[in-house]
Amino acid sequence: MGGKAALGQFKLSFWLTLVSFCAFAVAFGLYVMAEKEVDEVSENRFISHEMTDELIRTSEDLTRFARAYVVTGDTIYRRYFNEVMDVREGKRQRLPAGEYAFHDLTPIQESGSPMVTVPGKPIMQLLRETGLSDHEFELLLVAKTNSDILTRLEKKAMDMAENPGPNVDLGRERAIRLLYDEEYRAAKLNILAPIAEAHRLMSGRLDIRLEESKKTALRILIAFLLLGVVTLGLFLRAYLQLQKILGGNVGDLQQCLAALGRGQFETPPHQAEAPPYSIMGGIQATRQQLARIDLELRAELEKSHRINQMYLALAQCNQSILRIEEKDDLFPRICQDAVILAGLKVAWVALCDPLKQEMQVVSECSSGILNGGEDIPEYFEQRQFDFHFPYCCRGEAVWFPDIHDPAQAEGWRLLAQQYHCGAIAALPLMVNHRAIGSFIVCAENPAAFDEVIRTLLTEFAVDVGHVLNRFELEKERRHSLQIEELRSFLLEKVTATLTLHHFLEEAVTKVEAILPHCFCTVMLVDKDGVTLRTGAMPSLPVFFSEAIDGLKVGPGKGSCGNAIATGERTIAEDLSVHPFWRDYWPLAQRAGLRSCWSEPIMSTSGKIFGAFAIYHAEPRAPSAYDLQLLEMAAGLAALAIEHRQSLDAQHKLSQAVEQSSNAILITDSDIQIEYANASYLQNTGRRLQDIIGSRPSILSSGKTPPATYQEMWDQLRKGESWKGELINRYTDGTEHVDLTHISPIRDAKGHVTHFLAIQEDITDKKRNDERIRYLAHFDLLTGLPNRSLLEERARAAINHAERNQRRLAVLFLDLDHFKDVNDTLGHSIGDSLLVEVASRLRQNLREEDLLSRLGGDEFIVMLTDVDEKASERIAQKLIALVSTPFSIGGYELNVTPSIGIAVYPEDGTDLETLLRNADAAMYRSKTQGRNTFSFFTREMQERSARHLELVNALRHALAGQQFALHYQPQISLTGRKLAGAEALLRWTHPALGVVSPAEFIPVAEESGLILEIGEWVLRTALQQLKVWRDQGLSDFCMAVNLSAVQFRNKELPSLVQRLLEETGVPPDCLELELTESMAMHDPAAAIAMMNQLHAQGVRLSIDDFGTGYSSLSYLKQFKVYKLKIDKSFVHDVSEDPEDEAIISAVISMAHKLEMITIAEGVETHDQLHFLQGQGCDEIQGYFFSRPLPPDDFLRWVQHDLKNHLQ
């Protein structure tokens, strides 16, 4: 039999079986329906009898209640009577089935009054609905009518029993006779007879119908069993037909299917080929098709594997760049890793040059470069990616998934042709939220940069930015050390015995060493005040030095000429276009110079000595560090020039014997004065003839050390010269330090005949040297030791403590809110405050303790031979001292300190470690509310690690969709409705779990991530509000909290406007919440920001009102419409009278300022009752609902809100 015939036979068997089975199912259904009809007839029979019995029972109940009433006179029976009547007539709901006491139909309240009734159906209507025949219903209707007649008789009897008057007892007896006479009994029988007849008719009719239904069910059951037998036979026939088309036995079929399940798609060689029309043949064809699909799937898996490899490569690249310590190693490393590890074709790093408006390639790598076969195309070395400059400056990522598209930029297409690339990406490199360049990568596959790879590369670029930020911070620290190094170096050179030219050469060389690739010069102004002279120019060509030497100074005459003429700093970023260099550009071009920054060298009296200039070979604008270095070099050069001029003057005086500049004395070999010049005579106050023959000791003060005299005589006896310092007392009584040079004068035979003494008064020089040494080790403002002297003395103190096994403590003291004093009252007041603080601290510390100022408002106190208790006692004393008000410049200033304490050796064995740990402890004091002290603990190290962990996790939280918003309802007490919802941020990290907002929000603010997170919160909240409005929830407002960083961001109004336009939410449906402290930090700026937001239609509210400090005069100016009472006042309001008074005052004040109030943290009914009594407008808290996810919030509003408002 052919496959077609076998299949036809199987189909026939199948359809016959199916038809038989359907008939079998129909028979089963008919049988079930027949059995159901039997049940329905039985139930109808029960209900019919039930209702007829109820008619009898109601009549009996009416009789019993009427008789009880006329006998007892109790009104409860009359009411029962009326309630039974109401049930019969459908005016009151019937009892559930099975409850027959009609006087219990209506529940009775404790007060005795009935509950409100619910209408039902009349009993006759219920009887009609049971399916009675017309005759049966007419009989029951007759019984009902007779019952109604009897009811009227019963009402008449009850009326007779309750008539007032002298014949009350007579009326009651008549009523009783009326209800018990023969006429009443006959009327009662007239009711029961029709009911009994109807009951008999119903029983007969329903019994017949029930019997017929049972017979029908039996016949269907027999048919059902016969069809079952037929169906079983047809199933057997279909099974035999199926065997013919399987093409093999079931075992082989099962093995084939099992092989398919195991993924074995190749047909075994030992297996016979089944006919193509059989199932086995179809399976074999399927295995062949699946084998082909398996090959394709393997190819796709290989593709996925390549993507995973890129993931792993870039992750490894991230780890490697985090270990890089030098910025110069970063860009080559990321380019190499992108090519070697990630398998990209080529990678560049190009930095923005804002001055040239172009991109400069600083690092590159390609697979061809690594193999020695290719290099960066000359085209891109010349053009430097300047076509990408606008995108880079905006910090935009650029993706070119199909670089062969003619619409792409010409530069990118040329790049793709050079390297046979299919896709290019340019990712911004951000430092301090500013784009400094781009990381550009090329891939061979046009589809290489899918969404996953884009996300990974974007995160990689962000991580590179974090490393660059770290380098920037390290650079700032290095710059501070370099500036301090330059200062110490030059101050040391100032006091050294160098000529002015050598000093200027040293200064220029030192600055050139600190600033690589620069050329420094010092130009001095001649005695005429208008001619330039070269002071030092070691690194520039000789022709340049010769060309500018002798030029005239004046405004606009080059950078140095203009700086000297105007006394102001002159910056020429590009000499080729700067107007001051128009006449000198050819000379500068020949010398290879393109930029010049010049600082005037000015004395303390304002005299201009010259200018210190820094040149570069390329156009360049100075950084703040460059300017600081330039200013310091010029200032110290001025100090050196003044110092050298003073030395030169003294030197000229010492050699001008003819002019008697110095005291000059000639004695004989017996040391008796033979000659003294006018200077010496002036010092002694005597005439020459009065001192001839005297000894030079007439000027002795008695303070010159005897060892000095001993050394002098030893030298002179040996016939050698002697030079030293003598402390002499002049005729005016003042003591002077004379640099005395005594030389022997010999005759022609070499015998000493005389001595020549030259005395130079170096008192002022000694004072200047002391001043310079003082500046090198002490703070100029407060006179306290600076960091240099602190390190020197700290080393000695630590060594002493180590040798003697003693302890010492380092206190890091920082003034709280000192910046506010500078910003509001000026730096002169701030400096005076620092001087007063230093004075108080110095006066109240022991002589052996060390007090130092690091800079700004930071002081260091090193306490020797103290333990923790002594350190704590001293810290408390210092806090009390600093917290006492200061009277400065007519102002009474109140400042408080925060102190951190680190103890040697537990918290560190060197000054750097002790300072770092004390600084961490001081920061802990800041977070604890300031005006306190904290000891360093290991917990602080753990908190620092936790802080770093949270910062790193937050950087990826948005991209990882780890944030969610929950919404807490705000209820209007006046309108008894939903007034708003507050959006509350929640963060669930895959490793850290649920992180509290109180922990991660401050971290986000400190790291600068709060702006990005805040924008996400605002956008998500508005999008959710738009969804709810579309679902019909339109009559409420969305409240979003603002952080201090967001509120002070000038871009906030434009961001709010843009998000409102994106989501289509009306501005008055958005409420921005800010705290009191945010508003009062800078009231003027806060008012300006509120006015902008208010002009956009956005509502503003003050959150946590009462916990900060508000000025009512400013509060009136704030564009806010709502004050939120802090939950700390609400929590104990039922127990704390002070909290009650505060809440009452806030609500009263807000209403008078036409503001509404909302109380947060409401959890109990007592709190709600109090707030209602005080006129609070809105409520928020767990009393109504906790913060809910969006779907739960919607269900709460739709289902639970009404229950809470009742």
Residue 1187, pLDDT > 80, answer: yes
The pLDDT value given to residue 901 = 94
Q: With the C-alpha atoms ordered 1121, 1127, 1132, 1138, is the resulting torsion angle positive or negative?
A: negative
Report the candidate in 891, 980, 931, 916 with the shortest Cα–Cα distance to residue 1201: 980
Dihedral over alpha carbons 625, 631, 634, 636 (to 10 degrees): -90
Q: Cis omega (within 30 of 0) on the bond before 446?
A: no
Q: pLDDT, tens digit, for every residue of 192-246?
A: 788 878 778 877 777 787 778 778 878 888 887 888 788 888 777 777 766 666 6
Give the pLDDT confidence of 1121-1142 residue by residue, as tens digits: 899 998 888 988 888 888 888 8
pLDDT at 107: 41
Q: Which helix (H) or strand (E) holds 663?
A: strand 663-668
**Using one digit for the tens of pLDDT, what is the confidence trace for 908-958?**
899 998 998 998 899 888 888 889 999 988 777 677 677 778 889 999 998
Angle made by CA atoms 1036, 1039, 1042, in degrees to the nearest 5? 165
Q: Which positions ≥6 away from 447 have C-beta within 8 Å?
A: 401, 422, 423
Tell me the backbone φ, ψ of residue 1154, rounded to 5 degrees. Answer: 60, 40
Q: What is the mean pLDDT of residues 77-93?
A: 82
Residue 338, burial from CB neighbour count under 10 angstroms (0-12, 13-18, 19+)? buried
Q: How confident is the model at residue 555 (pLDDT cuts 50, 70, 90)?
A: very high
Cβ proximity of 614 and 519 under 8 Å: yes
Per-residue pLDDT of 599-650, as tens digits, reads 999 988 888 999 999 999 999 899 888 898 899 888 888 888 888 877 776 6
Q: In the 8-state DSSP scheme, what is residue 817?
A: T
> How far apart, in whole angstroms, are the C-alpha atoms of residue 1206 and residue 1201?
9
Beta bridge partners of 985: 965
Average pLDDT value for residue range 852-881: 91
Dihedral of CA atoms 59, 63, 66, 70 in degrees, nearest 10, equals 170
The amino acid present at 360, given as its one-letter code, is Q
pLDDT of residue 990: 92
Distance CA 1123, CA 1148 (A): 11
pLDDT class of 407 with cuts at 50, 70, 90: low
Q: How far apart are the first and last CA of the chain?
A: 82
Residue 280 has what pLDDT?
67
**Closest C-alpha among 790, 781, 927, 775 to residue 857:** 781
| Cα gap 410→764, rounded to integer Å | 73
CA 750 and chain centroid, separation? 90
Buried b (16+ CB within 10 A) or exposed e, 307-319: eeebeebbeebbe
Q: Residues 10, 14, 17, 19: is their CA dihedral positive or negative?
A: negative
Confidence of residue 380 (pLDDT cuts 50, 70, 90): very low
Q: 755: closest CA among 836, 692, 674?
A: 674
Sign of CA dihedral 384, 385, 386, 390: negative
CB 17 within 8 A of CB 238: yes
> Against a cut of 0.75, is the pTM above it?
no
Residue 668, strand partner residues: 754
| Residue ranges in 1034-1186 assigned as alpha helix (H) | 1044-1047, 1052-1063, 1076-1081, 1083-1095, 1112-1117, 1127-1131, 1137-1152, 1165-1174
DSSP H helix total and E strand total for the chain: 41, 31
pLDDT over 70 (residue 655): no
* φ and ψ at residue 350, rounded to 5 degrees: -125, 130
Q: What is the mean pLDDT of the chain?
A: 82
- pLDDT reading at 821 higher than 90: no
DSSP, collapsed to helix, strand or coil, labels residue 1123 as strand
Q: Which H or E run contains 640?
A: helix 624-655
Q: What is the pLDDT of residue 106?
A: 41
User: Cβ–Cβ contacts within 10 Å for residue 1038, how many?
Assistant: 23
Residue 1187 has what DSSP assignment?
Answer: -
Segment of 394-398, 686-690, 1068-1072 carrying the highest mean pLDDT: 1068-1072
Identify the CA nearest to 349 among candidates 475, 436, 416. Answer: 436
Task: Give the Cβ contact number of residue 1142 at 10 Å.
Answer: 18
The mean pLDDT of 1048-1066, rounded to a whole number, is 92
Q: Are 72 and 57 in contact (CB under 8 A)?
A: no
Of the CA atoms within 13 Å of residue 675, those in its CB half-sphere come to: 10
Of 583, 581, 586, the C-alpha closest to 570 is 581
Q: What whole-number distance in Å separates Cα of residue 343 and Cα of residue 317?
A: 12
H helix runs in 96-167, sequence order: 123-129, 134-162
One DSSP character per residue, 872-927 reads HHHHHHHHHHHHS-EEETTEEE---EEEEEEEETTT-SSHHHHHHHHHHHHHHHHH
Structural domains present in the chain: 3-224 (no CATH), 324-469 (3.30.450.40), 496-652 (3.30.450.40), 666-764 (3.30.450.20), 781-936 (3.30.70.270), 949-1205 (3.20.20.450)
- pLDDT above 80 for 118: no
Rounded-to-integer distance, Cα 842 and Cα 837, Å: 9
Query: According to the model, what pLDDT value does residue 382 have?
Result: 42
Pairing of strands 532-536, 518-525: antiparallel
Task: Determine the pLDDT at residue 124.
Answer: 77
**If pLDDT is split at 50, 70 and 90, which confidence band does 247 have?**
low
